[in-house]
Structure 1
Amino acid sequence: MPDRVSVVQSSHNVTKTRGKEHVLVPLVAVVIVIALTVVVVLMRLYRISDFPPGIINDEGANGVDALQVLQGHHNVFFAEKASGREALAIYATALATHFLGPSLLAFHLPPALASAGAVFAVFWLGLLLFDRDEQSGQLRPWRGLTVAGVAAGLMAASIGQTFLARGGFRANFLPLILALSLALLWRSWGHNGGRKTSWWGLGLAGACAGLLLYTYIPARFAPFLYLLFGLSFLIPFGAVAKARVKADWHKAAAFVAAAGLVAAPILIYFILHPEDFFFRSREISLSLDSHRTQLGAFLNNVVEYLLIFGARGDRNWEYNFAGKPLLNTWEALFFWAGVAISLWRWRKRPAYRLLLLWLGVMLLPAMLAFNRGQGPNSLRIIGAAPAAYLLVGVGIWETARLLRGRISLNNATAAAAAVGVLVTGFILVQGVIAYRTYFYEWVGTPQYYAAADAEIAEAAQVLNKQPSDAKSVFLIPYHLSNGHYGFDYLYQGDAPAHVIHSTMTHLPQRIESILEANEEVSSVRVVDWNNELGWIGGGEEYTVALLEKYGTYLGSEQHEYFQIHTFSDITLDSSWTFYESLGPPSVDYDGGISLLGIALGKGNTQLSTQQQINLGPERTFWIAKQWQTAPGLDKEYAVSLRLHDSEGGGVYQRDIVLLNPNYSRTSNWTPEQPVETLYHMEIPPDLKPGEYELRLVVYDYESLKPTVELGVWEPEEVIANLQVSESH
Structure 2
Amino acid sequence: MHDRVPDGHSSRNLTQSQGKDQILVPLVAVGIVIALTAVVVMTRLYRLSEVPPGIINDEGANGVDALQVLQGQHQVFFAEKASGREPLAIYATALATLLLGPSLLAFHLPPALASAGAVLAVFWLGLLLFGSDEQSGRPRPWRGLTVAGVGAGVMAASIGQTFLARGGFRANFLPLILALSLALLWRSWGHTDRRKASWWGLALAGACAGLLLYTYIPARFAPFLFLLFGLSFLIPFGDVAKARIKAEWPKAGLFVAVAGLVAAPILTYFILHPDDFFFRSREISLSLDSRRPLLGAFLNNVVDYLLIFGVAGDPNENYNFAGKPLLSPWEALFFWAGVGMSLWRWRRRPPYRLLLIWLGVMLLPAMLSYNRGHGPNALRIIGAAPAAYLLVGVGVWETARLLKGRISFQNATAAAVVGLLVTCFILAQGILAYRTYFNEWVGTPNYYAAADAEIAAAAHVLNMQPSDAPSVYLIPYYLSNGHHGFDYLYQGEAPAHVIHSTMTHLPQRIESILASNEEVSSVKVVDWNDELRWIGRGEEYTVALLEKYGTYLGSQQHTFLQVHTFTDVALDRPWTFYANLGPPSVNYDGGISLLGTALGQGDTQLAAQPQINLGPERTFWIAMRWQTAPGLDTEFALSLRLHDSEGGGVYQRDIVLLDPNYSRTNNWPPEQPVETLYHMEIPPDLKPGEYELRLIVYDYETLQPTVELGVWKPEAVLAFLQVE
What TM-score do you get using the length of structure 1 for normalisation?
0.98
1:303-314 equivalences in 2 (<5 Å): 303-314=303-314
Amino acid at match of 1:323: G
Q: C-alpha displacement at 1:690, in angstroms?
A: 1.0
Counterpart check, 1:647 vs 2:646? yes
1:386-401 equivalences in 2 (<5 Å): 386-401=386-401
Q: Secondary structure at the match of 2:614?
A: strand
1:202-217 equivalences in 2 (<5 Å): 202-217=202-217
Q: C-alpha displacement at 1:608, in angstroms?
A: 2.0
Counterpart in 2 of 1:493?
A: 492
Superimposed CA distance per residue, residues 84-131 of structure 1 (whole angstroms, 9 cap, x where no aligned partner): 010000000000000100000000000000000000000000000001
Counterpart in 1 of 2:478?
A: 479
1:506-585 equivalences in 2 (<5 Å): 506-585=505-584
Q: C-alpha displacement at 1:418, in angstroms?
A: 2.3
Separation of aligned partners in 2, 1:566 and 1:611 = 38
1:269-288 equivalences in 2 (<5 Å): 269-288=269-288
Q: C-alpha displacement at 1:191, in angstroms?
A: 3.3
Q: C-alpha displacement at 1:352, in angstroms?
A: 0.4
Amino acid at match of 1:588: N
Distance 1:559 1:193, change over 3 A: farther
Counterpart in 1 of 2:170?
A: 170
Counterpart in 2 of 1:354?
A: 354
Distance 1:7 1:438, change over 3 A: closer
Q: C-alpha displacement at 1:243, in angstroms?
A: 0.6
Q: C-alpha displacement at 1:373, in angstroms?
A: 2.5
Separation of aligned partners in 2, 1:506 and 1:470 = 28
Q: Secondary structure at the match of 1:334?
A: helix
Superimposed CA distance per residue, residues 435-458 of structure 1 (whole angstroms, 9 cap, x where no aligned partner): 110000000111100000000000
Counterpart in 2 of 1:421?
A: 420
Separation of aligned partners in 1, 2:23 and 2:499 = 64
**Alignment size in residue pairs:** 719
Counterpart in 2 of 1:58?
A: 58
Distance 1:16 1:655, change over 3 A: same
Counterpart in 2 of 1:373?
A: 373
Separation of aligned partners in 2, 1:143 and 1:155 = 18
Aligned-pair RMSD on alpha carbons? 1.1
Q: Secondary structure at the match of 1:616?
A: coil
Superimposed CA distance per residue, residues 567-602 of structure 1 (whole angstroms, 9 cap, x where no aligned partner): 000111111111111100000011111000001111
Counterpart in 2 of 1:626?
A: 625
Amino acid at match of 2:626: W
Separation of aligned partners in 1, 2:237 and 2:607 = 83
Q: C-alpha displacement at 1:417, in angstroms?
A: 1.8
Whether the 8 Å CA contact 2:527–2:563 is kept in 1: the answer is yes
Separation of aligned partners in 1, 2:414 and 2:591 = 83
Amino acid at match of 2:285: S
Q: C-alpha displacement at 1:617, in angstroms?
A: 2.1
Counterpart in 1 of 2:246?
A: 246
Separation of aligned partners in 1, 2:351 and 2:608 = 74
Separation of aligned partners in 1, 2:9 and 2:564 = 89
Whether the 8 Å CA contact 2:409–2:415 is kept in 1: the answer is no
Q: Secondary structure at the match of 2:379?
A: coil
Counterpart in 2 of 1:3?
A: none
Q: C-alpha displacement at 1:290, in angstroms?
A: 1.1
Separation of aligned partners in 1, 2:610 and 2:271 = 63
Q: C-alpha displacement at 1:534, in angstroms?
A: 1.0
Whether the 8 Å CA contact 2:695–2:718 is kept in 1: the answer is yes
Q: C-alpha displacement at 1:610, in angstroms?
A: 2.4
Separation of aligned partners in 1, 2:306 and 2:20 = 43
Superimposed CA distance per residue, residues 635-670 of structure 1 (whole angstroms, 9 cap, x where no aligned partner): 111111101111111111110000011111111111
Separation of aligned partners in 2, 1:508 and 1:692 = 28
Separation of aligned partners in 2, 1:63 and 1:592 = 46
Counterpart check, 1:463 vs 2:444? no
Q: Secondary structure at the match of 1:430?
A: helix
Whether the 8 Å CA contact 1:138–1:193 is kept in 2: the answer is no
Counterpart in 1 of 2:126?
A: 126
Q: C-alpha displacement at 1:410, in angstroms?
A: 3.4
1:127-166 equivalences in 2 (<5 Å): 127-166=127-166
Superimposed CA distance per residue, residues 361-388 of structure 1 (whole angstroms, 9 cap, x where no aligned partner): 0000000000023210000000000000
Superimposed CA distance per residue, residues 654-687 of structure 1 (whole angstroms, 9 cap, x where no aligned partner): 1000001111111111111111000000111111
Separation of aligned partners in 2, 1:118 and 1:370 = 27
Q: C-alpha displacement at 1:505, in angstroms?
A: 0.3
Separation of aligned partners in 1, 2:224 and 2:716 = 58
Counterpart in 2 of 1:409?
A: 408
Structure 1 unaligned regions, length at least 5 = 1-5
Q: C-alpha displacement at 1:199, in angstroms?
A: 0.5
Separation of aligned partners in 2, 1:350 and 1:524 = 66
Superimposed CA distance per residue, residues 138-197 of structure 1 (whole angstroms, 9 cap, x where no aligned partner): 111000000000011001000000000000000000000000000000000003261111
Counterpart in 1 of 2:19?
A: 19
Separation of aligned partners in 2, 1:266 and 1:389 = 31
Amino acid at match of 2:623: A
Q: Secondary structure at the match of 1:266?
A: helix
Separation of aligned partners in 1, 2:218 and 2:45 = 26
Superimposed CA distance per residue, residues 276-324 of structure 1 (whole angstroms, 9 cap, x where no aligned partner): 0000000001111111111111110000000000100000000000000
Amino acid at match of 1:557: Q
Superimposed CA distance per residue, residues 697-717 of structure 1 (whole angstroms, 9 cap, x where no aligned partner): 111111111111111111111
Counterpart in 2 of 1:719?
A: 718
Counterpart in 1 of 2:442?
A: 443
Whether the 8 Å CA contact 2:185–2:202 is kept in 1: the answer is yes
Q: C-alpha displacement at 1:341, in angstroms?
A: 0.6
Separation of aligned partners in 2, 1:129 and 1:178 = 14
Counterpart in 2 of 1:192?
A: 192
Q: C-alpha displacement at 1:470, in angstroms?
A: 6.9
Distance 1:318 1:8, change over 3 A: closer
Distance 1:7 1:276, change over 3 A: closer
Separation of aligned partners in 1, 2:467 and 2:316 = 38
Separation of aligned partners in 1, 2:171 and 2:78 = 15
Amino acid at match of 2:187: R
Separation of aligned partners in 2, 1:410 and 1:677 = 77
Counterpart in 2 of 1:339?
A: 339
Counterpart in 2 of 1:298?
A: 298
Counterpart in 1 of 2:265?
A: 265
Whether the 8 Å CA contact 2:590–2:706 is kept in 1: the answer is yes
Whether the 8 Å CA contact 2:523–2:565 is kept in 1: the answer is yes
Separation of aligned partners in 2, 1:147 and 1:561 = 47
Q: C-alpha displacement at 1:9, in angstroms?
A: 5.9
Amino acid at match of 1:274: P
Whether the 8 Å CA contact 2:469–2:521 is kept in 1: the answer is no
Separation of aligned partners in 2, 1:670 and 1:334 = 65
Q: C-alpha displacement at 1:14, in angstroms?
A: 1.1
Amino acid at match of 1:461: H
Amino acid at match of 1:268: T
Whether the 8 Å CA contact 1:627–1:674 is kept in 2: the answer is yes
Separation of aligned partners in 1, 2:192 and 2:533 = 60
Runs of 4+ in structure 1 displaced over 3 angstroms?
Answer: 6-9
Separation of aligned partners in 2, 1:712 and 1:223 = 63
Q: Secondary structure at the match of 2:693?
A: strand
Counterpart in 1 of 2:3?
A: none
Whether the 8 Å CA contact 1:218–1:383 is kept in 2: the answer is yes
Amino acid at match of 2:380: R
Superimposed CA distance per residue, residues 518-571 of structure 1 (whole angstroms, 9 cap, x where no aligned partner): 001100000001111111111000000110111000011111111100000011
Distance 1:74 1:304, change over 3 A: same
